[in-house]
Structure 1
């Protein structure tokens, strides 16, 4: 696998998963490029570095493997305007002229009026990084690329660039580039991973996204279930809570042993929270069954009590590596 595309419904933590996957791959000794295309500078915030320019920068390294080797993580913030200027410079030798077009707003107009062209430019830069070899002198070669892609609702449109260009450009260099990019996106070297949480809407959107990707002949990788809560209570205890069968007196006695001032209001409040937790767990278990029926590999990442910082990213990376996604 060379290109890992990470998508997911907003709020599921797809950018966090993309960053963790890049670290996990680097922990296997690979040099990895982590790309983002949505203009939010999410990579810079997660890794606590300066906002990224339109150039590749080393931002982290993976955990050492059993042999002591570790790979590096580089990052690239791709924006359509810079990609178009680079495209014009490479294929039409428009150096200063291209920058003049940018000053007049032509670049922004072109990428706004034709969203399909915008996606070709964004994905074209990813393709260029994936295709590098020893002939690309001076350019860093990567063993793997992780793309923090648009949300699930737009991922098929984003990746299916030649289909989106059908009504805009039937021939010419932009159409040729789109066709070339599609050879990578539809190949076994690419996998599209979908991030979800154990809630009905994100899981349903994940299921719909898998169907859309398959209809477009785009390769589905796995489903990453993010923000999984710890299982502190067993099935029997959860069932007793849902059926309101807990012994109130025993609960009060346990609280008293902890030297707390116990009253009826405290016990009622705790039992209400327990019921909410039990109902939430029942919902999560039902959605976990839906994920299991999607006929793709599934991976789970825990909800981190302290939030996601660089240490948390390494913790999630270790979990992905242990489960075999990296």
Structure 2
């Protein structure tokens, strides 16, 4: 079983929400899961309705079912670099002075690969960390990672720092990170919607991950809307059978007492907008089925989460976690 779960997806697909739900699902058997974010958006704090996350691991939730715990960490590149400087060079106060001078921000700006090494390195350290009894401190680490368009470059830190440092601590750190990221301990999951652009970006992203020999986990199809019409109704709507729709409406209105009197003509008035909506619905279904076919062709485990009509809140997050668990994402 993978222990580092990297969650990516095109912007707007709900990758942060899925990452949070996955963390809850993985902790539901009584384990400890660390949920980390690396983009500085404080999206995790908003989802769990808590204050902004500091640069420390903090418990934010108890998982459903088995009573496991979810901890969270917002990884900050500057603080991670200070930790790194202290760990390898024992700079201490000198490192803090560098921060005040802006040297750390300058270093991570001119060398983006260094920033990614620091961010991924902190997550990988949490994956490897053990207590005094030799047991892993966290059973799972879930990373809310950058979007699909940048995920391969973000994870492939060895290539990113190759021109920056060919020997020394930075090079060794990148090598250690890549040993985790390219091992069976890691799984990169992509979140998508059943829409043309997110599906295509998912297909392209998986191709890039595979080319870089990074381990792909599964695809989470998020915000799946229910199919309102059955196959027969879809056929009628697709053919634009106005007369059939009008007759069905008249019958339905009569059964409810709205078929005569001041409601005369109501069925005729409703026919065109209802046919238009039905046609739009059938077109969406066709697009979604095409997207499912493309995703199925990837040969990866696929999980589906329905659209929550009431919006996303903490109760909805737990509901998503239970659904992921039910579909076997944590097995």
TM-score (normalizing by structure 1) = 0.95
Match among 213, 216, 232 for residue 212 of structure 2:
216
Larger Rg: 2
- Higher mean Cα deviation, 80-89 or 50-59? 80-89
- CA distance in structure 1 between the aligned counterparts of 2:257 and 2:106, rounded to whole angstroms: 68
1:319 corresponds to: 323
Equivalent residue for 2:34? 33
DSSP 3-state at the match of 1:320: helix
For 1:99 and 1:111, the matched residues in 2 are separated by 15
1:177 to 161, 173, 176: 173
| Structure 1 residues 170-209: aligned runs within 5 Å | 170-209=166-205
CA contact (8 A) 2:220 2:303 kept: yes
- In the alignment, structure 2 segments of 5+ residues that lack a partner are none
Separation (CA, whole Å) in 2 of partners of 1:255 and 1:118 = 64
- Give the equivalent residue in structure 2 for 1:164: 160
Supply the distance in 1 between the matched residues of 2:269 and 2:213 (Cα, whole angstroms).
58
Alignment root-mean-square deviation, CA: 1.6
Pair 1:129-2:130 in alignment: no
Shift of 1:258: 4.0
Q: Deviations over 1:126-175 (max 9, x none)?
A: 011111112499x9810000000000111000000001111211111111
The count of corresponding residues between Structure 1 and Structure 2 is 321
Q: Deviations over 1:215-268 (max 9, x none)?
A: 111000000000100122212211211111243121233245445542533321
- Residue of structure 2 equivalent to 1:249: 247
Corresponding residue to 2:293 among 289, 295, 310: 289
Matched residue, 2:51: 50
Secondary structure of the structure 1 residue equivalent to 2:220: strand
Map 1:96-111 → 2, pairs under 5 A = 96-111=93-108
The residue aligned with 1:20 is 21
Contact 2:149-2:205 within 8 A present in 1 as well: yes
Aligned to 1:123, the other structure's residue is in SS state helix
* Structure 2 residue 141 is the aligned partner of structure 1 residue 149: no
